[in-house]
Structure 1
Amino acid sequence: MAEHTLFGAVDPLRPGLDAPTPIQDVARLAASGRRERVLRLRHQAEQIFSDALATHLGRHRVAAVCVLFSGGSDSTSLAHLFRHRATHAIHCNTTIGIEATREFVRATCLEWDLPLLEEIAPKPFRQLVVERGFPGPPMHPKMYSRLKERGLRQARRKLVADTRRERVVFLAGRRRQESRRRARVPLHERDGSVIWISPIANWTVLDLNTYRQLAGDVPVNPVSQLLHMSGECLCGSFAKPGELEQIRAWYPDTDAEIDSIAAEVTAAGHRPPHNRWGHGSGRRSRAAGPLCSDCQLRLFDLDEEAS
């Protein structure tokens, strides 16, 4: 569905499904216009959800509707938007993240009476990097697979008793304006027994801010305020310059943990740069992961699931 036009240009008050409205067009709206736009985006998010079930569910039952809750601003807004429809929240405990974010997720789910599945990576980050060294961009697909994808598989196994008759819905806060790799993220798709839905794919940052203002009760993760990211995964594959210094300033316990891991990695015989967190060496891999901010990977490789 193409966006409606006004005087030959995209009308930000009538957002379509094909692509997000340019953020500069949203910025030009008055406050009342932004509120009107977000009300329509909320209706559109429900439409995307309904369309996804109509497209992918068939004769299957919905075993669970899960919001994927990292604790970042986008996932928190999505969780708030769908908190009454969701049956569960899923948080991937990557074993290398800021504990305050996990505490925020737990507390928020408790307040909303939303059952939380906190899935811990089967092999912790410390063990992975002692074996292989700290990752750079080329190793990010491996980190994603081990630290997040396997956690999602664990959650899916807990919720889907019969893959031939049941589907589980994963609601993800992926947005097309986040990065080049997410520019083409589908609104919904199915992978085995999982129906992935991205209800806020076409929302801009300004839309999310307006939604939070309208709602008035969307909780804020203090980690996101300080670091401008959720901090739920600090594998370091795509660490930005100065990121470790920020972590050190605000979360010294996490910094001390990274230092402790680095000492073990060095003791295991890994040489520079692979004994240093966030070294950034190597070419960026095109493969990544659907839950990471700069990623777009295949979803699952669930050979055991029926189509």
Structure 2
Amino acid sequence: MTSRSKRKRQLVDMFPGMADRIDGTPPKAEAEPEALTLDEAIAKSHAMVDKVLAAHPVVATIGLFSGGNDSVIVNHLFRQRVDAIAHVNTGTGVPETTQHVRDVVAAWGLRLHELHPKNSYADLVLGRVLSTRGKNIGRQVWKGFPGPAGHSVMYRRLKDEPLQRLRAQIVGTQWRTRNVIYLGGMRWAETDRRFRNAEEVDREGSLIWVSPIVHWTDAHMREYRARHRCDLPHEHAPHRLCHPDVLPLNEVTVHLHMSGECLCGAFAKPGELDEIEFFYPHAAKPLRELENEAEAAGLSACKWGQRPPGERTRNRPTGRLCSKCVDPEGQTDLLAEWRESGLITTDQYDTFTRPDAA
């Protein structure tokens, strides 16, 4: 049994006002987590941001909104305290997620920074991006579809670089006296990686990463959703924005159990592209076409979501904004789940999983 499975408790709803806490002490926690009610957890989240604002000259507080279930709570909670929202449109995600973010931010009356990477995912996969610095200048940054070993390259190029560019635009040349806060949705209770590595506050030069709900448990998250999401028996408005203070819902997270804003495939689960294709064929189509291009170019790593030949398993960090990126080894085969639930027949499962199916 893994340490995560030991800590993971059965999903049960708390009674209103019931306290809950993280099991164990995260290595990077400032103090041992205490049992908190949801209202106490909310107060601690605001106090965390207040402390940073009091200690540093901050010129902008930006909420990071991927469209996922955790980031929507962070931004809903702080929507009256942020100066703007940032969403990284990686160019390789489900378009409905980006549209969800646009619609929600507009409904909140906030400014949206929709960021785009300089290098496209397709150019990275096909080896068209060359290094412009250091001893590797002129060499390919990456080639082929990434496995876990390539995730750091994809994260840096598709997500981190656009966010660093936004920070530079806001701070300008006064980086010694001007700071930007990025509010993210990392939580210790998400995964073993998050439990080990997530920090409440992480300063990176003039950029201050704050994870205000890092101490929230899964039960806190469920209670917050129950408190703020519209579940009335009526025809819901798009994104369930049925009244001004409601917590939005991204339908992509219902179907895929992730935000889908980035489909780099580095930590894809078995059958994940089939699942994406089932619900969002228009999002899977360019990935299938890129597979054909990669194969035609003679790349050995020419299949999305498959560990490249010869790649060794390593315990690598996944990046601040990649909460659902975990090593796929040992995870559930989605196609097998579909077969067991009756969504597909045994014959269809055999067809999808035979060696020549791709």
Equivalences for residues 130-145 of structure 1 within 5 A:
130-131=126-127, 132-145=143-156
The C-alpha deviation readout for 1:7-49, integer Å capped at 9, x for no partner, is xxxxxxxxxxxxxxx6649947424426981111110101111
User: Are the aligned partners of 1:94 and 1:148 in contact in 2 as well (CA < 8 Å)?
Assistant: yes
Offset at residue 66 of structure 1 (A): 0.4
Matched position secondary structure for 2:37 = helix
1:166 pairs with 2:162 = no
Distance 1:93 1:52 in 2: 28
User: Are the aligned partners of 2:87 and 2:113 in contact in 1 as well (CA < 8 Å)?
Assistant: yes
Equivalences for residues 12-161 of structure 1 within 5 A:
24=9, 27=12, 29-33=14-18, 37-55=37-55, 57=56, 60=57, 62-131=58-127, 132-161=143-172
| Percent identity between the two aligned chains | 37
Offset at residue 224 of structure 1 (A): 0.3
Query: What is the one-letter code of the residue matched to 1:268?
Result: A
TM-score, normalised with respect to structure 1: 0.83
Matched position secondary structure for 1:181 = helix
TM-score, normalised with respect to structure 2: 0.71
Query: What is the one-letter code of the residue matched to 1:254?
Result: A
User: Are the aligned partners of 1:52 and 1:189 in contact in 2 as well (CA < 8 Å)?
Assistant: no
Aligned to 2:252: 223
Query: What is the one-letter code of the residue matched to 2:111?
Result: P
Aligned to 1:289: 319
Offset at residue 170 of structure 1 (A): 0.4
Distance 2:11 2:298 in 1: 52
Distance 1:227 1:200 in 2: 23
Aligned to 2:206: 193
Which of 262, 269, 273 pairs up with 1:233? 262
Offset at residue 240 of structure 1 (A): 0.6
Distance 2:19 2:256 in 1: 27
Runs of 4+ with deviation above 6 angstroms: none
Query: What is the one-letter code of the residue matched to 2:270?
Result: P
Aligned to 1:11: none
Aligned to 2:23: none
1:28–1:79 distance in 2 versus 1, CA, 3 Å: closer
Query: What is the one-letter code of the residue matched to 1:170?
Result: Y
User: Are the aligned partners of 2:179 and 2:208 in contact in 1 as well (CA < 8 Å)?
Assistant: yes
Matched position secondary structure for 1:182 = helix
Matched position secondary structure for 1:75 = helix
Structure 1: segments with no counterpart, 5+ residues: 1-21, 297-307
Aligned to 1:202: 215
Distance 1:73 1:232 in 2: 12
Distance 1:209 1:124 in 2: 36
The C-alpha deviation readout for 1:217-258, integer Å capped at 9, x for no partner, is 100000001000000010000001121111010000011111
Query: What is the one-letter code of the residue matched to 2:285?
Result: A
Bigger RCO (CA 8 Å, 6+ sep):
1
Aligned to 1:214: 227
Distance 1:29 1:228 in 2: 22
Aligned to 1:257: 286
Matched position secondary structure for 2:114 = strand
Query: What is the one-letter code of the residue matched to 1:168?
Result: V
Matched position secondary structure for 2:48 = helix
Distance 2:93 2:183 in 1: 22
1:24–1:266 distance in 2 versus 1, CA, 3 Å: closer
Structure 2: segments with no counterpart, 5+ residues: 1-6, 21-35, 128-142, 230-245, 327-358
Give the number of equivalent residue pairs. Answer: 269
Distance 1:151 1:70 in 2: 14
Aligned Cα root-mean-square deviation (Å): 2.0
Offset at residue 213 of structure 1 (A): 1.8
Distance 2:41 2:176 in 1: 34
